[in-house]
Amino acid sequence: MRTNESAEMYLETILLLREKMSGVRSIDVARETGYSKPSVSRAMGLLRARKLIEIDALGIITLTDEGCALASKILDRHRSLTRFLMRVGVPEEIAAEDACRIEHVISDESMDCIKRACLDPEDDK
């Protein structure tokens, strides 16, 4: 299933928040992204309709297996691209911003080549 950059960004944000807190709600996503509550609510509805997240009666967001796999892939790309860009001399803040844009458009093949050619295998542990 093809996803757009916005969906990927929301899934990645949910995954990152889940690493920091036990129960992620739409308000947490809104605070983290700076988007309005109505925008986040709409996005959560779309992700739910695509079966990438589930939302319980208390408003707690859970990634489905498919949503978690996609979020993990995007987060891995982000972290790997950030490390790569920093290794070639890009300052950390710029590297993270650029990685955030690149992670959504780079092909799997190019990403695999970057990881094999330029990243320390110890980074993926």
CATH value at residue 18: 1.10.10.10
List the domain range (segments joined by +) for residue 87: 73-124
Nearest by Cα to 76 from 123, 24, 28? 123
Place of tokens 């700076």: 34
**80 and 64 co-located in one domain:** no
Is there a contact between 23 and 56 (Cβ–Cβ < 8 Å)? no
Domain co-membership, 92 together with 64? no
User: Tokens 């960004």, residue?
Assistant: 9
Q: So what's the pLDDT on residue 4? A: 85
pLDDT above 90 as % of the chain: 73
Which letter, b or e, does each residue of 78-112 get, where b requires 16 or more Cβ atoms within 10 Å of its Cβ? bbbbbbbbeeeebeeeebbeebbebbbebeeeebe
76-108 per-position pLDDT tens digit: 999 989 989 998 899 999 999 999 899 989 999
| CATH at residue 108 | 1.10.60.10
Judge whether residue 69 has pLDDT over 70. yes
